[in-house]
Chain A
Amino acid sequence: MVARSAATRGLVALAATAIGFAARPARADDFLHRLVADARARVDAEAAAHAPRPVPPVPVAVKWRPAKLTSIDLGAPLVALTAADLDGDGKAELYAVTTHDVIAIGWRGKRLDELARVPFAGDVAVPVPRDPVGTAVADGRALVASTSGFARALRVTWQGKQLVGAPGEADFELCPGEHAKLVPGRDVLEGNRYAVVCRDLVDATGAPLHVRGELAATGRLAVDAGTAHFEVPEVGVAFELADLDHDGTPEVIYAGAGAPGDPDSVKVVSLGGDPRKPRWKKPFTAGGVAGIAVGDLDGDKAPEVIAAVRLVGATRVDLWRLE
């Protein structure tokens, strides 16, 4: 993630004000035009002077040591899972979206446990797909969650120690600012897609790298990383994009595209690598992988990869830490 500094936010506000002036009708004397040009020039100069210097990531060795952390009954089927630090404590929480609730999960002492939950509310959606689906997108200090059973999304934030929800848009947020609707009565999004994941990472030089993965209903994951394009076949609906080893090349962590109920696995491949030769693979024979999330849950500055594994349709999930 690339954090915006306070100085940058001020410059952006100044630029917005100037652009607002420019949008007004021009007058005979071009005083305003000159003012805008001057403001723009000053903004550009300030921005250049305050641009964060790229810090190349320092590669780390990832040791894959899968271990089951806990088993939690969510009370309803899981439809999406993500990790984000919404409460600002420097440690990420897991957010499990079920057909009923958004559930925050984090470390409670030495145990990964439910921290709080907030229910979806409002009108139920009609029609709904036969198998429930959902999305979870972290946007700053908020999480926008959607599930196919409810007409509106749920915008979740922490207010003190309380997790609160507010009605969101009447569609599915895929990435911050990017929305789509479900095809009526089906489990696919418009454009014959299952899911989209966007992540802001850095490349090997430390420059910002926006990565976007779009999973087609065919199971083919198309990943755009900057100007590069990659495709990974046979990807299940649970996948995540992250630079786990800090080498500037993102990894795709994904479940298999087998039929619901079949044994599953989690694979890790580097973008550009051969999916037939994954860097790591962990089979799960007693359940399917319903969600994958990456976040620094323990605050040690190294992200953990979490997989949620369950039997088909079950409300109980096993949470596995994979590295």
Chain B
Amino acid sequence: MRSLLVVVALCAVASAESRPHYGGSVEGTLLGAPVTLDPPYARTHADATVISLVYDTLYRIGPDGVPVPHLAAALPVVDPKLATVKIALKKGVAFQDGTPMTPQDVAASLDRARTTAKWVLAPVKSIAADADGIELVLAAPTDDLATFLALPQTAITKAGKSPGTRAIGSGPFQVVSLDAPRHRLTLKAFDEHFAGRPYVDELVLRWYDTPDGEARRFETGNAQMSARGVAAFAGGQPTFKAEDVEGPAALLVFVGFGRLHPDVLGDPAFRHALDLVLARSGFAGIGWGERVVPTRLPVPIEAGAPPLVARSGDVTAATDALAHAKAAVKSLTLEILVEDTRPDDKEVAERVLAGLDQLGIHAKITVVTAQVLRDRALAGKADLWIGQLAEPVTAQAAWWAAAFAAGGDDTLAKLGAFDAATAAKQFDARLPIVPLMFRSIRLWHRTDVRGVSFDASGRPCFADIFLFGAPVPTHGRP
């Protein structure tokens, strides 16, 4: 039953007895503050969601987990020697400023992704444009190229350049304004989007730095969608009737390691101790009733990982592991960074803190902005931080690659050709991150907001939502 729900919630063609209507404005939500509109630098669910709205990729992951051509005209064609790949491109695609998208734009964008987010196109040696497509020279054979070319990091920008302050993509929505202080991104429909104009004229996405801010806004009828419940207080009723839709459990929440105390944080013994002591079952209660799948691997069950059997923490084994640590950790007070616009992460951090306490390690939680967390994590100026990954739920290679990259570990990328057993072995040895849980996103929406669904990475398909009919006041409310 659960899998059926997930399938139904995946992005689907909305064709039926009548057709979706065009027009109107919808206020939706992001899971946190987006830090970048530059595709190769996308890290979080919020980044990936916004980038999927403003830009396009060569492929998309279909509801069955299989890549389907998007900007590409067909699947990649590999030569018999498995050394080069040709990808034909659709003709007639335009950027939001009216200029046509060329194979040169595509090649330059992918080349920048290859050199900026190395994990994404690790098996690719070079990329060149030809008359009606691109050609990629491979350093190692790969079966997953189309999947990686569906990731937001490979989205196409004009001339492959960083968008700077003015993001112009070919995606279904154009950026009207990004008001970071007010936590508000305003988008308008791109009429000439090659894959179809979005149904709504305007999409406003907001994010919140209080646990009940989002639910309160939905409850009062000011927002049509919420990912954090329908009312600020348990049992509360929203102004208008609501329904909810749940996506795949494709959001991995993990603990990342900084380099402020490299002797401790870089020591596999410490990392294993942390991994062992954390009771994964404790994370199941976080959130608003979404599906939570505790994990110790960065790969979902849908991508082939075995279900986690031992969900409780093992303090004895963790203490034993910590005994092998090279540096003394108990004299330190570790800092756990959490992002202010992801209130759930604070609860996650509290459980991590409790686990450290069981090992006799002092820690404190520091709430910072998304930008600060990003900067400090990338620069290594942190001890521990709570991060998230959103990849296509069935794409095993993408999960392994993203997990190593999130930990700043290029071991897997250097190997070139992907091998799941090698990835698992290396992950176990190095623990670049400590995975905690996969969770789904649950979106509550007013009943007049239709077509709410998710893609394979658990990103809401905002371009497919439409307004139909009128909102229905909740009984007893105005």
Instruction: Tell me the A residues contacting B by CB distance below 8 Å.
Output: 77-79, 123-124, 126-133, 184-188, 194, 217, 219, 236-238, 255-262, 264, 288-290, 310, 312-313
B195/A312 in contact, CB under 8 A: no
Cβ contact within 8 Å between A288 and B19: no
B331 at the interface (CB under 8 A from A): no
Q: What's the least CB distance linking A278 to chain B, in Å?
A: 16
Chain B contacts of A129 at CB under 8 A? Answer: 196-197
Contacts of B21 in A (CB 8 A): 217
- Residue contact B197 to A126, C-beta cutoff 8 Å: no
Instruction: Please tell me if the beta carbons of A258 and B18 are within 8 angstroms of each other in the complex.
Output: yes
Cα separation A60 to B307 with both chains bound (whole Å) = 64
Chain A nearest CB, measured from B354 CB (Å): 44
Contacts of B195 in A (CB 8 A): 127-128, 130
The distance from the CB of B474 to the nearest CB of chain A, in whole angstroms, is 20
**Residues of A contacting B: mostly:** loop
B194 close to A237 (CB less than 8 A): no
CA distance A77 to B15 in the complex (A): 8
Residue pair A126, B17 in contact (C-beta under 8 Å): no
Q: Which of A77, A132, A217, A290 contacts B17 (CB 8 A)?
A: A290
Q: Which residue of A lies closest to B63 (CB)?
A: A313
Let me know if B196 and A128 touch, CB within 8 A: yes
The answer to whether B93 and A238 touch across the interface, beta carbons within 8 angstroms, is: no
CB distance from B243 to the nearest CB of A (A): 11
Q: Please, how many angstroms separate the alpha-carbon atoms of A174 and B102 in the complex?
A: 35
Residues of B66-102 at the interface with A, using a CB-CB cut-off of 8 Å, are 73, 90-93
In contact, A133 and B19 (Cβ under 8 angstroms): yes
User: Which of B127-135, B150-158, B461-469 contacts the other chain?
Assistant: B461-469
Task: Supply 26 A–B pairs (Cβ within 8 Å), ascending by A.
Answer: A123-B91, A124-B90, A126-B194, A127-B92, A130-B13, A130-B198, A131-B13, A132-B15, A184-B191, A185-B191, A185-B192, A186-B22, A187-B20, A237-B18, A237-B19, A255-B18, A256-B17, A260-B16, A260-B19, A264-B17, A288-B16, A289-B17, A290-B17, A310-B16, A313-B12, A313-B15
Contacts of A264 in B (CB 8 A): 16-17
Tell whether, in the assembled complex, residue B14 and residue A255 are in contact, meaning their CB atoms are under 8 Å apart. Answer: no
**B199 contacts the other chain (Cβ, under 8 Å)?**
yes
Cβ contacts under 8 Å, B91 to chain A: 123, 126
User: With A and B bound together, what is the CA distance between A187 and B21 in angstroms?
Assistant: 9
In this complex, what residue of A is CB-closest to B13?
Answer: A313
CB-based contact B18/A259 at 8 Å: yes
Q: How far is the CA of A124 from the CA of B71 in the complex (A)?
A: 12
Q: Given the known A-B contacts A124-B73, A124-B90, are A256 and B18 also in contact in the complex, defined by CB atoms under 8 Å?
A: yes
CA distance A77 to B16 in the complex (A): 10
Q: Which of B170-224 contact A (CB under 8 A)?
A: 191-199
Q: Which residues of A contact B450 (CB under 8 A)?
A: 259-261
Interface residue B451 (Cβ < 8 Å from any Cβ of A): yes
Using A127-B197, A185-B194, A258-B17 as known contacts, list a sample of 4 further A-B pairs with CB atoms less than 8 Å apart, ordered by residue number in A. A127-B195, A132-B13, A184-B191, A260-B450
With contacts A127-B92, A312-B12 known, is A288 near B197, CB below 8 A? no
Taking CB atoms, residues of chain B closer than 8 Å to A184 are: 191-192
Instruction: Compute how far the CA of A130 lies from the CA of B173 in the bound complex, rounded to whole angstroms.
Output: 13
Complex CA–CA separation, A77 to B73 (angstroms): 20
Would you give the 0/1 interface string for B139-152, flagging 1 where the beta carbon is closer than 8 Å to chain A? 00000000000000
Question: Complex formed: what's the CA distance from A131 to B13 in Å?
Answer: 6
Interface centre among B12, B15, B93, B463 (most CB of A within 10 A): B15
Known contacts A184-B192, A185-B197, A312-B12: A130-B17 contact under CB 8 Å: no
A289 to B468, CA, bound (A): 18
With A127-B196, A259-B450 known as contacts, the answer to whether A79 contacts B18 (CB < 8 A) is no
Pairwise interchain contact A259-B468, C-beta atoms closer than 8 A: yes
Q: Would you call A131 and B19 a contact (CB within 8 A)?
A: yes
Query: Assuming A126-B91, A185-B197, A259-B450, is B17 touching A131 (CB within 8 A)?
Result: no
Residues from chain A with Cβ under 8 Å of B191 in the complex:
184-185
- Determine the chain B residues whose CB is within 8 A of the CB of A255 once the complex forms: 17-18
- Which of the residues A130, A262, A290, A312 comes within 8 Å of B196, measured between beta carbons? A130
A127 near B16 with CB under 8 A, answer no
Bound-state Cα–Cα, A123 to B92, Å: 11
A290 vs B18: C-alpha distance when bound (angstroms): 8
Partner of A312, one of B15, B92, B192, B468: B15
In the complex, the answer to whether A131 meets B193 with C-beta atoms within 8 Å is no
Contact A257 B17 (CB under 8 A): yes
Q: Given A127-B196, A130-B14, A290-B15, A260–B73 Cβ distance below 8 Å? A: no
Q: Considering only CB atoms, which chain B residue lies closest to A265 in the complex?
A: B17
Q: Given A219-B18, A258-B18, A260-B18, are A77 and B90 neighbors across the interface (CB < 8 Å)?
A: no
- Chain B nearest CB from A186 CB (Å) reads 6
* Chain B 1-38 per-residue mask, 1 if CB under 8 angstroms from chain A, else 0: 00000000000111111111110000000000000000
Nearest CB on B from A206, distance (A):
35
